Amino acid sequence: MDQYTLNLLIVGATFALYIGIAIWARAGSTSEFYAAGRGVHPVTNGMATAADWMSAASFISMAGLIAFAGYSASAYLMGWTGGYVLLALLLAPYLRKFGKFTVPEFIGDRFYSRTARLVAVVCLIVASVTYVIGQMTGVGVAFSRFLEVDASTGLFIGAAIVFMYAVLGGMKGITYTQVAQYIVLITAYTIPAVFISLQLTGNPIPGLGLFSNDIASNEPLLSRLNEVIQELGFAAYTRQDGSPAAVINMTLFTLSLMIGTAGLPHVIIRFFTVPRVADARWSAGWALVFIALLYVTAPAVGAMARLNIVDTIYPNGTAEAPIAGDARPDWMKNWEVTGLLNWDDKNQDGLIQYYNDKSEGFAATAEQRGWKGNELAVNNDILVLANPEIAHLPGWVIALVAAGGLAAALSTAAGLLLAISSAISHDVVKATINPNISERGELLAARISMAVAIAVATYLGLHPPGFAAQTVALAFGLAAATIFPALMMGIFSKRINDRGAVAGMLAGLLFTVVYIFMHKGWFFLPGTNQFPDTIQGSLLGIQSTAIGAVGAVINFAVAYFVAARTADTPQHIKDLVESVRVPRGAGAASAH
């Protein structure tokens, strides 16, 4: 059986499974659509949360970032996992005790303000839409290679699948679909990693293989990787950039990812689906276990993939003898079709020169060899998907990885779209536009909102502002600067009032969005329809992906400043905060 047919069969089988589950678990009420009827078992919810959490950025893009950036990309590992611990300890049990359906509903009730609720909806939509763009980008990457269609067509196919099970099943259907998607994605991620670890180190556990000896050289794998990439002008894989700007950016970026994680609405609402507060805590613990299975494997996948690429280009083990372009392996030719890998023979010698042409220290060596610039461009997002082909693994493994990448992207996209549609139907339509809407009408509004959100996400996915993990990082910064501070102050501070919360969220949102647009150069040039190519400016050299932590500080500061100069919080709200901070019961679900 050829590879294309195998890909179709395995990916098609997983899609049929997801749609079948959605039909079986179809939501029949708003409670089932928003919170799965609050009847999900903690282990089931933990697995669904892990799938919701491990997006295309985790499955597809993170290992690619680690592979090409080395030590500096460890911020993704520390930020995303550390942030989940913050969420589990500081927010999840208390929000579950409150007993609402959505994050904006909690903010609106806690700060006794319809304005606060609507501002929270805006913040949620901005962060979630930015995040979902990264997922749709990942869907396009996976489809473009494995089903041999262009990325745009892949986006439309992925959107149609999400539409079928998300609009139909709501949170109930999404929860059980995500359980299946977790099983698919973790299997797809682990099996190639085990094979590759065995090939390179003889150790079947990738996390241990990373610190084992490379079989070919009998050197520690990381030492050999450092050696081969430094010979090509790249920085040592395990080297930390100790410059002040790099340290500041890595610290703020890690913090931004952590508090952004704790403020992501699509993950928070997963804790509304369990019966009791204790179950929310257990769900968080199980989710950490399921997440760890991938996150302890990702660093090994990145390092081993980078070594495999270098060994492919320089099979004789010397930087002076690259492989001929005509002899490049099939996996490179396959990915060239997608446009995500490109070989440009700049010096017309028929060989592939892969090196760091930005390195001043290596420039003289490159010139001596007759090299005219780096000739191989590899998109970060293809690495995990290409790994089985690079390592010459069986065809069924390649097909399984395709299914896993799509499962990761679709599971998180569905959760994000549900958060967006719930905010629109429950917090805008029901709470503001039509408070007397029937449950049937609200359910219809939720499904229509979901369909519109899918259409918008698909359109934006056609023109993403960066590769998957980079786009997702911007979403984390937005969540960090807006939603996380509001939730923290809502739970742990009785003094913050309605005006303080609204002012803080708006200040954090406006500062972060404006800074990102300025730093990325996304403002239109005067009198033209073109974006400038150059960065417009930065604050102390802080990158746009790290600015969320600064936005959060501004949010806290403005909220406390305004609250201190306006009316005190009403006593019944203070009593509410006190009751929420002692999560001894489930809290009856309510909607208003």
Cβ-based neighbour number of residue 69 at 10 Å: 17
Choose among 258, 236, 211: nearest CA to 89. Answer: 258
Please check the confidence at residue 191 and state whether its pLDDT lies above 60: yes
Per-residue pLDDT tens digits for 261-280? 888 888 888 888 888 878 88
What's the mean pLDDT in 199-207?
93
Q: What is the pLDDT at residue 538?
A: 61
The residue ranking higher by pLDDT, 20 or 148, is: 20
Q: How far apart are CA 381 and CA 336, in angstroms?
A: 14
Given this model, what pLDDT does residue 491 score?
92
Q: Is the pLDDT of residue 527 over 50?
A: no
Predicted TM-score of the model (pTM): 0.81
Q: What stretch of H or E contains 341?
A: strand 341-343
Least-confidence region, from 23-27, 377-381, 391-395, 534-538: 534-538
Q: Please determine, for residue 550, whether its predicted confidence score (pLDDT) is greater than 90.
A: yes
In angstroms, what CA-CA distances link 550 with 207, 523, 545, 546?
34, 21, 11, 8
User: Which has the closest alpha carbon to 352: 387, 388, 380, 328?
Assistant: 328
The whole-number pLDDT of residue 560 equals: 96
Instruction: Dihedral sign for Cα 242, 248, 253, 256, please.
Output: positive
Q: Is 571 exposed, middle or buried (0-12, 13-18, 19+ CB in 10 A)?
A: exposed
The pLDDT of 206-219, averaged and rounded, is: 92
Given a cut of 50, is residue 181 above it in pLDDT? yes
**Measured between alpha carbons, how far is residue 276 from residues 95, 272, 319, 573 in Å?**
11, 9, 60, 23
On the question of pLDDT at 55 being above 80, the answer is no
pLDDT reading at 464 higher than 70 = no
Q: What is the per-residue DSSP string for 465-534?
A: SS-HHHHHHHHHHHHHHHHHHHHHHHHH-SS--HHHHHHHHHHHHHHHHHHHHHHHT-SPPTTSS---SS
Nearest in space to 182 (alpha carbons), one of 66, 301, 46, 64: 46
Average pLDDT, the chain: 83
Q: 52 or 535: whose pLDDT is higher? A: 52
- In this predicted model, what pLDDT tens digit does every residue of 217-247 receive, in sequence order? 899 999 999 999 998 999 899 988 778 888 8
How high is the pLDDT of residue 96? 81
Cα–Cα distance, 229 to 303 (Å, whole number)? 11
Q: Where are the domains of the chain?
A: 3-304+390-458
Tell me if 444 sits within 8 A of 168, measured CB to CB. no
Tens of pLDDT along 389-439? Answer: 887 888 888 888 888 888 887 787 888 888 888 888 888 888 888 888 888
SS (H, E, C) 106-149: HHHHHCCCHHHHHHHHHHHHHHHHHHHHHHHHHHHHHHHHHCCC
Give per-residue burial for 262-283: e unless 16+ CB within 10 Å, then b: bbbbbbbbbbbbbebbbbbbbb
Question: How would residue 522 be classed by pLDDT, with cut points 50, 70 and 90?
Answer: low
Lowest mean pLDDT among 73-87, 222-236, 554-568: 73-87
Look at residue 529 and tell me whether its pLDDT is greater than 60.
no
User: Quick one: pLDDT band at residue 534, thresholds 50, 70, 90?
Assistant: very low
Query: Residue 592 pLDDT more than 70?
Result: no
Calculate mean pLDDT across residues 129-143. Answer: 74
Beta bridge partners of 376: 343
Cβ atoms 119, 490 nearer than 8 A: no
Strand partners of residue 324: 351
- Look at residue 498 in the predicted model and tell me its pLDDT: 95
User: Of 26-40, 436-450, 557-571, which gets the smallest average pLDDT?
Assistant: 26-40
The pLDDT, as a whole number, for residue 350 is 92
The answer to whether 143 touches 151, Cβ cutoff 8 Å, is yes
Distance CA 312, CA 317 (A): 10
Mean pLDDT, rounded, for 46-67: 82
What confidence score (pLDDT) does residue 450 get?
Answer: 82
Range of 145-154, 342-351, 417-426 with top mean pLDDT: 342-351
Give the pLDDT confidence score for residue 500 in this predicted structure: 96
Helix (H) or strand (E) holding 378: strand 376-378
Residues 6+ apart with CB under 8 A from 489: 496, 500, 501, 504, 556, 559
Q: Predicted confidence band at 203 (pLDDT cuts at 50, 70, 90)? A: very high
| Cβ atoms of 409 and 161 closer than 8 Å | no
pLDDT band, very low/low/confident/very high, at 495 (cuts 50, 70, 90) = very high
Residues of the chain by 3-state class (helix, strand, coil), percent to 5: 70, 0, 25
Q: Which fold has domain 3-304+390-458?
A: Sodium/glucose cotransporter (1.20.1730)
pLDDT of residue 112: 93
pLDDT value at position 163? 80
Residue 563: which pLDDT band, with cuts at 50, 70 and 90?
very high
pLDDT in tens, 317-330: 777 888 999 999 98
- Token digits for 221? 């794998």
pLDDT at position 536: 46
Mean pLDDT of 349-378: 90
Contact 224/217 with Cβ under 8 angstroms?
yes
